[in-house]
A and B are shown apart, each in its own frame.
Chain A
Amino acid sequence: MPRTITLVTPLTDQDVEALEVGDTVFVNGVIYTARDAAHKRLIDLLAAGQPLPVDLRGQIMFYVGPSPARPGRVIGAAGPTTSYRMDPYAPQLLALGLKAMIGKGKRAPEVIAAMRTHKAVYLGAIGGAGALISQAIKEAEIVAYEDLGPEAIRRLVVENLPTIVINDCRGNDLYELGMQQYARL
């Protein structure tokens, strides 16, 4: 039976273990944004043996490149981007202690395996609901790679950001289960 759970960052192994596919999760606290270009830079830093601009232990990464904020606003539209493009990078970040990723679309088997190994989850946000999701973002500041514009790493403070557990830390996949339930062969 799907449940509704409120999470506050940073996350512990116990927080992650309690989550099951299909659970609605309202995310609260500090989360970080990163998408294609920022991921590449993070991985290049790791390859060079250098520290990352953000300590990822216990953190949540939101795959988003927001639209510009109007004057007086915190942020523009801010829905998830498609996650598979971050698959080549995700296992290394999970190994550093990243506990959850927010995005949309299916993950590669090696990312799902890394979530099992390192106790992490993949949370789905509704793609294309950028105006709605932006309402949950209360603060936003760029913490790295300002030159990347929409792709810069931002530190967000969120209140009840709505997500659903797509992959729990036991290898289950809500996209697979949902399709199986409704497919007609």
Chain B
Amino acid sequence: MREINVKDITTAVKEAAIAANYELGEDMLHALAQGQATEESPTGREVFRLLLENARIARESRIPICQDCGLAVVFVDLGQDVHLVGGDLNEAIQEGVRQGYEEGYLRKSLCHPLTRQNTGDNTPAVIYTTIVPGDRVKLTVVPKGGGSENMSRVHMLRPAAGLAGIKEKVVETVREAGANPCPPIIVGVGIGGTFEQAALLAKKALLREVGSTNPDPELAALEAEFLTLVNNTGIGPAGLGGRLTALAVHINMMPCHIASLPVAVNIQCHASRHKEVIL
């Protein structure tokens, strides 16, 4: 049994929340630079140039990449040989979010759903904990923006809808979203599972490195096909028209009930922020 003090988890979450909001990942920087080189629309190329400039200013001048510093989604892979000491894991994560958003000058964007009163410290974070083999703790902090989350959908299709139905829903979701979710976007697709599992599969798909190939060849082929279909909409960077509406489509799939065909589409804006820490 390896002991880990939850205080170290608080510190790790705090630092990851701050880093994610100021430093765009290398994969995204690469994808934006590639977009600037390949986009057909001159306006679209200018949008890519400005987004790269935005990322540079954020990193160097310590201004968040986006004023929507997100709702903090935290994925915890907890090794089963770890013994957590010093307090409550859930509260330690919430405290990390609280400290990170305060000390990092990040916007607090959570409110009571009915009164709309701001909670004041960007908590509660949404936490998903999975028990995994080993004696380590992996934390992934994902500040998720509201604009792109609003454009995400879960569809409970009839099995008869099949792959054609899935494609239609993915393209329809992106088309209806238009300029709203800050294209160029990343499209996370979850196929199968249950109502909530499909959405979680879609969200986890957004964490994969942009530009990486799905290890499942069948899904890799579908991702390429879906990307073409989504980019045929012509929405383009910032929605001003262009070839690159999405930089990537990532798919996760698992078996589902014989009566069901759940499909979730989770949209991620170009400010794709996530930071992983291993303790």
Contacts and interface: CB of A to CB of B under 8 A. Distances in A.
A181 B65 contact: no
A161 B148 CA distance: 24
Given A82-B150, A105-B179, A178-B241, A135 B57 contact: yes
Given A77-B63, A126-B47, A178-B240, A67 B269 contact: no
15 contacts: A40-B116, A69-B105, A79-B67, A104-B182, A124-B179, A126-B238, A127-B238, A134-B63, A150-B67, A150-B118, A164-B43, A164-B240, A178-B242, A179-B241, A185-B232
A163 to B, nearest CB: 11
Interface of A: 36-37, 40, 64-70, 76-79, 81-82, 84, 104-106, 124, 126-132, 134-135, 148-151, 164, 174-175, 177-185
Contacts of B61: 131
B64 interface: yes
Interface of B: 40-41, 43, 47, 50-51, 53-55, 57-58, 61-69, 105-109, 116, 118, 120, 145, 147, 150, 178-182, 232-236, 238-243, 269-271
Given A79-B68, A129-B51, 13 more contacts: A65-B67, A65-B68, A67-B69, A76-B67, A76-B107, A104-B147, A104-B238, A129-B66, A134-B63, A148-B118, A149-B120, A178-B43, A179-B236
Given A105-B179, A179-B235, A130 B63 contact: yes
A124 B238 contact: yes
A77 B67 contact: yes
B65 A77 contact: yes
B58 A128 contact: no
A182 B54 contact: no
A66 B238 contact: no
A41 B145 CA distance: 24
A41 B123 CA distance: 25
Contacts of B63: 67, 76-77, 130-131, 134
Output the residue of B43, B116, B179 with the most chain A CB within 10 A.
B179
B66 A77 contact: yes
B220 to A, nearest CB: 22
Contacts of B106: 67-68
Given A126-B50, A132-B53, A104 B233 contact: no
A22 to B, nearest CB: 8
B210 to A, nearest CB: 15
B234 A183 contact: yes
A141 B64 CA distance: 20
A180 B51 contact: no
A149 B107 CA distance: 9
B235 A130 contact: no
B57 A132 contact: yes
A181 B41 CA distance: 9
B67 A183 contact: no
A183 to B, nearest CB: 3
Nearest to A133: B54
Contacts of A78: 67
Nearest to A149: B118
